[in-house]
Each structure stands twice: as structure tokens, then as C-alpha cells.
Structure 1
């Protein structure tokens, strides 16, 4: 006992004295989190639990000033670590002490704290900064969008770099407080709930505050600033629903409202398919025309390009983006190569909605896509959706071949096992991350089927695969050549729901 006490006392004395033993244990945090597609995205050596983002935005000049406080824990001894960020930094403090910092690469900010960080130590990192985000680019590209009356911080896989410093990868989720000071009469939309109503803090300036209490990937945090009509209601599950519509929608306004106002209905239906809704709020935002080329599933509140409603109402895009609340937001990719788990299932949710509303069965839609839309010689079939490569991350094949692959799984294992699989996946992986391989393992465990051949053909092989014959009970049997049906009523709406999908992020 005495020897143990002496050893413990000696260790304490070394720690208090700040001996070189601490410095020996400290090392640089990795500049990337280990994603094979984006090797310098995210960072190693620490895990973030919360972001507090406080901003002031000047719509007339696109100037942004801010202070972000990051609460984290060191996962190793650190003598320096990286943040992903682009704007001009004024100061950084780590646990109250001024830190030094330098740029490295196109978006890396290397921070050297005044004192080495011990593994397991809590970190409070405060970064003060300013800039004009629309004028900051990486290789000629900016994810920040300036609009006629404000701005959009909405994009995938990267957007955080332009407005708050972060550990920018879905493997490091955190909760968020986001508050933005803007000129009176300007609205600010973001994720989650409003913990307080907008409040005037300065003459002519109002602060909008938003809070996300469930873990969120950094690219899903968003900011929409401009002139918007807000509509607030209560969902069937008791949650607050906040929808917002740009004042500049013109002819898009009514079809947009006819679609987005169905969000609570869609979420209720999807909760029956995928399991309980995983977040604290619901809603959607429709931005001005000609400002955004896509829709994005920002956690709790998706953002939609006005052009999705150019032919009238489009509930399918609402179904698609809200399906991502389960597939993509709650259960996020482990690495970006697993993107099929996001887009394939969100696209298939549209097919299930079509089936539910009587506008065309999932089998009709599969047959049309397989036999009519994509002939065997179409380069569409060359994309390996289970590992598409960074250049094809948002290729239309990831969406459409992805939905077809999901339908083949459904036929192969039968409806009972399939719908059990959806709920068990979203429950066991809630607020975490998943891989294609883990999904296959779960599908095989629930169904008792060997699915290697199906997954290899549909996810990991080029060329047009053979199809599963569902038969009477959906079990796999010999391949068949499906007859080509007439185009379903819902086909154009479904295609609209991911039009210009390739413009999502890079």
C-alpha cells in the first residue's frame, strides 16, 4: 500500500510541476478524420460535444462577424490540433489561454495551445473571426450563396468552413446553439427550436436564436437569412413545426406552400415506416428562385430550391428530404463512400409514398426505371453506388439505382423482414453512423438470407444487374425480365424531387 501511495504521490507531483513527461505524451492531432474520399476533412485528437455560434450579418455587404465556442474532449495528448475553417481569424483561446494559429492547406487551421492538452481533458475553444463568405473560395468554389436579400449557408458535403470553425465530418456530431444578429425586418432560419423569440438587442438590430438538442453533423447545420414569411403550427406528435417561405417566390409561392405545409403529415407517415421521429422539431424553408440548385435535408428543417415547385405542388421532394431525417441525419454515413445509405433510402421513400397514395406501386416504378428509363447501354449503370468515388458522390445513379437496389432487397427478404429492417437500423444506429457492410449484416441477420450476390450486383458491380422475382412472398428466385408498364402518374414528380442532384456539393 505504501509503494502504491508513494507512486501516486510522485505522479501528482510531476503533474503539478508540469514536467516534460506531459510534453512527451502530447502530439499533433491528425489533419483528417480518416475519410478515404476527403482525407483532410474532419480532424483527429478531439471529439466535439457542442458548438455555440454567435454571428452578426450585414446583408448589404455580405459581411459576417462571429465568435464560435467549441466544447470538446481531447482523445489523446495534444500539443496542437486542427480546425476546418476559411474566414479570417482574429483570436483563438483554448481553456482561457490565448493560442497561436496558422493556415495550412486550403481549409485547415492549425491551433497551438499555450499549454499541452492531456488525453481526456475537457476543451473550451473560442474562435473570433470575420469575413465576406461569398468572396472566399477553395479552388474557385464557394459553398456560401448570396441572395438578393441575404444569404444561404446550405450545402453538402462542406458548408461549415464558410461560417463556423469545426471538426467537419459526420463522424463527429454535436449539439448546437446558433444565434445571429441581423437588421430589423430580416428573418433568420436555422435548425431545431427557437429557445426564445427574436429580440432587438441594438437600435435597428434583432437577434434570432436556434437550438439543436440532438447530435448533428456539421454539414447539416444551416443558416438562411433574408425576407421570409414564417408559419408556425403543432405536429400530431406535439412538436413545433416552423415553415418559411421567401417573399420573392412569386408564382412558386402557392405550390410551395401546398407541398411544405404537408411536412407534419409526411413525418407522421414516415414515422410509421422508419420508427419514431428522432428530432425535436419539424419544418422546411423555400428559398428565392435562382439561388439554390437542389434541396438539402438540414436536420429538423430541410431547405428547398423554389424550382422544385415549377410544375405545381411536389410532395415527393418533401418525402425525400424528410426521409433523410432518419437516413442521413440520425443515422449518418461513417465515410462518404456510404452515401447510398442516405440517397437510396430517401429515394425509395418516394416510391413507398407513391404506393401509399395510390399514384403508382414501387414495383411499377422499378419496372419503369429498369426497363424504360435506363437501358443496358446507359452509362448510368457504370456507377458503383456502394463506393461511387468523390466525383460521383451525388450522381443520379446513387439516387435511382440506389432506390432500385432497395427494392431488390425488399423483394429478396419479403415485406415483413424488410420493414423490420428499416426500423431496427434506425433504432440501433440512432444519432450515430453506419456503413453499407453493417446494413447488409443486419439485413442478413433479420431475414436469414445470404445477400452477398444481391449486394455485389447492385452496389459493387458495373453493368445492369439481373432482378429478383418477388413471387408470392417476395422471396428471391430466378431472374426475370419485367414487362414495361405505362409511365406512372407520379413519375415526373418523383424525378423532380431530385432534379439536378449532381449539383449537391462537389
Structure 2
């Protein structure tokens, strides 16, 4: 045995260390990021959330938001402290009933230090009381809280939660939600899931929403304003709630003509993707200057600009397809965005075929022929596009081309079994592009590494499949797009801030 001499002055330090219980000495801070290379400081390490209970009060006239968030979680390591992603002003934090120290750090970190260290694999309850004016807060130079003439909305990707509730903001940590919002009488509050109840007292009306299926934080939405609300049930039995700002102007008719087909489209998509995974469906169109749409779970967000050219069911198809591909089955990391966007775009191609406005193959041929080999379009790899190109049009269009190439390779029967089987295999969970390839190989019985590499990862235009090469020569390439293309193209900025 080698005996090491203790340097002068070290004995006191060693004695102090021995005085600290071993269980406390082993505790360490949770990481300020969950480990996603695209967004290193999104999400946090050390715990897993199971439920968010948000009790809010919002004043549209001043954009003031007050809230108490109760977060149910379980530790995944011994913790001396942990982070939440949040921007508003905090007045109190409690962990397991005891007051906890807290401090802001970085762009959007709330660092919480409980009175007692937390052991691994134990349930914890975190209560955060807060207030602020969301529209005055920014991180990385932007805000995802948008004021409207009569309220405000929270809907954005890949982040939106920081502006209205503290969270572990990464899709890999999904949870259920209760969202209770008090607003002045005559104003409405809309969120995800189903409306449990409303009540009015002293000039304020409280709306109580519940999402009882796991939901990623960026898919949580809040819309406050004055809306016309419609409710119905699809023929397949799915309750539908849609909402439209009362001051949409010229876009109001087209928005309604499109979004009111939600129930029909949900039933139609169920034929491809399997049973609708949630207890309600719908969408809302606020009076906002933003231009994008987003698949906020069960209650898709649509900018009125999506309907500036008239009714557009294609964007509704896109966001509703995400309820299976992106919402129920969420990505493991943001590099897996192709599973969300490639399949939502392909659903638009299937809808085009359904409406008799161009087949999926015709749309694939048009996209392929529209981009010459030197086009930068081909340098973006949908299977891992990088954080700067996460929502590049290539992730959508080249991503859908990859889906069509897969369909042609494995055949229609295996392809449609795959479309339906994937959302059931990973329902309410998370999965990666690698997981999808493995599942596609299992369903089809074919090796698919080369096909996935060619269409999703190589920074070059793939050679046309032999079966299509003759029809895609320069002399015979498509000279005009299918009739649906204009409407599909109008949705190119669905997720562009």
C-alpha cells in the first residue's frame, strides 16, 4: 500500500470533508442543458418532469402575466441544484414544500438550490411564483410571445415556454398539463387539450384546460383574446374546437373555410396513420402579424397570413399530420426534425392526390426536376440539417422526396403499413431517424442504409431511380407543377419565425 503524506493545511480540509454526510457530498448541480448539440442550453439535466400545473392571470391591456407553476418531477441523479428554462420575474420558489434559493443565469436559466440536496430517483414538487410582461423579455435577440390587439399568444418552435411558464424545455422531456387562466370578462383563454370548466368572479373569467397525454414543452400553447369559437365532433368521434379572432378582416372567410375542415382531415389522416392519438383536435387563428403555422398539440396555431391567398386546406393537413408525426411521436433530438417535417409535407402530397390535384409521385417529380444539381437545396441534409438549417425548405421538400423514394423502394403495402405502424410503436414517446430506419427495415425486410444515406445525408442531388430516369430527362422533365403546388408552396414558411 502506498501511503501519501498530507500537506500542511490539508488536514483541516480533509476533516471538514469527512464531516459532510456521504450522501450530500456526492450531490452535484444538474446540467444547464439537456445535451442537444443543436441547442446546448435548451432543457436541463438531473430530473424528468411528469406534470405541469399552471395557474395564471393575464391582463391584455398591459400584457401583465402572473402565475404559479407547480411542477411534478423525478430526479435522475443526486442533485445539489437544478435549472429551469424561464425568463419572467420570480418571487418565490419552493421545493418539496420548503423555500429554495434561486438566481437567474445565462440567457434563460433559473437556477434553483433546495435547502436539502435531492437524492436520485425521488419524486419532487417544485412551485414557482412569478410575474412579468412577456413581450418585454427576449433571449438570443428574439421573443416568442406575440401581442395581439386584444391579448397575446405563445406559439413558436423550437422554444416558446420560457415566456409564460418555467420548464424543462426540450421535446425529450414530455409531460401532462393543467392550464388554468383568468382573464377579464369578455376575453377568452385557449390552450391545449380539453376545456374542463369555466367560472366568472369579480370581473374575471377563468378557463381550465387539461392535456392528459404527454406533450413537449414547445407544443404547449396559450392564446388570449376575443375569439369566435366553434365546436363539433368528427364523423370518427373526435371532438373539435376551433377559434378565430373577431378582427381577422379579409382573411376571416378563408381561414374558416380551411380550419373548419379539421374534423374531416383528422378522420382522413387516421386512415394513413392510425387512430387519432389525442382526446380533442382543433386550431386557432389569432390576429397576429407573424406568418407561420405550428402543430401545437391538439390545437394547431395558424397565422391569418396562411390564408391570405384564399382557403388553404393544405396547411391544415400539414399541422394535423404532425399530431402523429411530431406530437405523439416526438423527436429525440432536434437533428431528427426530418421525421416531423418530411412526413407532414408528404401528408400534403397525399392530400393533393386525394383532392385530384396531383399525385405524390407527380409532386416528387416536380420537386426533383425544379432543383438542378448545383442548387444549394441539395447541400442541406434533412437527416441532420444542422441548427442553422433546421427549418430549411430542403428539410420539407427534400425530406418528402426521401419519403417517396422509400415508398418506391419498399412497395406500397409495406410503406403504408410503416406509416400506420410507426405512430403506434412509439406513441407518446420519442424516436430518432436511426430508429425510423431500423423500423422501416423490420417492416419491409429490406436493407435501407444506402437509400437513407443518399436521400437524407448526402450533400448532393441523388441520381434519379432507374424507373423514373426516363421521365426525368431534360427533354421530358415536368414543365408545369401539379395543380396543388401553389397551395403547398404557400405553406413553405409554416415554421419560419
CA–CA separation in structure 1 for the residues paired with 2:424 and 2:465: 28
1:429 aligns with 2:426: yes
Residue 196 of structure 2 is matched in structure 1 by 195
Residue 484 of structure 1 is matched in structure 2 by 478
Higher mean C-alpha deviation, range 437-446 or range 173-182 = 437-446
CA contact (8 A) 1:192 1:211 kept: yes
1:367 aligns with 2:368: no
Gapped regions of structure 2 (runs ≥ 5): 1-18
Distance 1:163 1:286, change over 3 A: same
1:294 aligns with 2:288: no
CA contact (8 A) 1:260 1:315 kept: yes
CA–CA separation in structure 2 for the residues paired with 1:469 and 1:280: 45
Instruction: Note the 1:26-425 alignment, pairs <5 A.
Output: 26-196=27-197, 198-201=198-201, 203-288=202-287, 290-372=288-370, 374-425=371-422
CA–CA separation in structure 2 for the residues paired with 1:503 and 1:443: 30
Q: CA deviation at 1:376?
A: 2.2
CA–CA separation in structure 1 for the residues paired with 2:52 and 2:161: 12
Q: CA deviation at 1:280?
A: 0.9
CA contact (8 A) 2:365 2:472 kept: no
SS at match of 1:267: helix
CA contact (8 A) 2:293 2:495 kept: no
SS at match of 2:142: coil
Q: CA deviation at 1:209?
A: 1.2
Q: CA deviation at 1:93?
A: 0.1
Q: CA deviation at 1:478?
A: 10
SS at match of 1:251: helix
SS at match of 1:503: coil
CA–CA separation in structure 2 for the residues paired with 1:361 and 1:468: 18
SS at match of 2:127: strand
Gapped regions of structure 1 (runs ≥ 5): 1-17, 472-476
SS at match of 1:155: coil
SS at match of 1:375: coil
CA contact (8 A) 2:336 2:433 kept: yes
CA contact (8 A) 1:99 1:111 kept: yes
* Per-residue deviation, residues 186-220 of structure 1 (Å, max 9, x unmatched): 11111000111x2113x211111110000000000
Give RMSD over aligned pairs: 1.6
* Per-residue deviation, residues 390-440 of structure 1 (Å, max 9, x unmatched): 111111111111111111111111111111111121111111111111111
Q: CA deviation at 1:485?
A: 5.0
SS at match of 2:195: coil
SS at match of 2:118: coil
Q: Report the TM-score, using the length of structure 1 for normalisation.
A: 0.92
CA contact (8 A) 2:357 2:484 kept: yes
Q: CA deviation at 1:291?
A: 2.1
Q: Report the TM-score, using the length of structure 2 for normalisation.
A: 0.93
SS at match of 1:194: strand
CA contact (8 A) 2:57 2:66 kept: yes
CA–CA separation in structure 1 for the residues paired with 2:150 and 2:114: 39
* Per-residue deviation, residues 444-486 of structure 1 (Å, max 9, x unmatched): 1211222222111111111211133458xxxxx9996473153
CA–CA separation in structure 1 for the residues paired with 2:236 and 2:117: 48
* Per-residue deviation, residues 254-282 of structure 1 (Å, max 9, x unmatched): 11111111101100011110111111101
CA–CA separation in structure 1 for the residues paired with 2:496 and 2:260: 26
Distance 1:20 1:154, change over 3 A: same
